[in-house]
Amino acid sequence: MAGVDWEAVAFIVLSVLEVVFSILLVTSKRLVRAAFWLACTLITIGGIYLLFRAEFVFLIQILVYAGAVPLLFVFGIMLTRRKIMEEPSMEGPP
Partner 1 sequence: MSAPLVPSLFGACYILTGWIVWIINWILRAIGTVIPPLFPPLDALANWLASAPILTVLTWLVMTLVMVVWACLVNLLTMMWVERKFYSRLQDRYGIMISIWSLPLWPFNRRKDVPTHKGWGYLQNVADGMKLLQKENLVPATADSMMFNTAPAWIAGTTLMIFAALPWSSGLYVANLDLGILFILAAFSLAPLGILIAGWSANNKYTLVGGLRSAAMLMAYEIPLVLVVIALVFTTGSLDPKVIVTQQERPLLTLGPLVIPAWNLFGVQAIGFVVFLVAIIAEMERIPFDLPEADAELVEGWTTELSGMRFGLVFGFKWLRMIAGAGLLSILYLGGWSGPVFTTLYLGSVPIPIVPEEIWFMLRVYLLGLFFIWLSWSIPRVRIDQILNIGWKRLIPLSLLAIVAAAAVRVVTG
List contacts with partner 1 (CB under 8 A). Answer: 30, 32-33, 35-36, 39, 55-56, 59-60, 62-63, 66-67, 69-71, 73-74, 77, 84-88, 94
- Nearest to residue 41, comparing CAs of 69, 72, 73? 69
Say if residues 38 and 69 touch (Cβ distance below 8 Å).
yes
**CB closer to partner 1, 14 vs 35:** 35
| Shortest separation between residue 4's beta carbon and partner 1, angstroms | 13
- Nearest to residue 63, comparing CAs of 53, 49, 77, 52? 49
**CB closer to partner 1, 7 vs 55:** 55
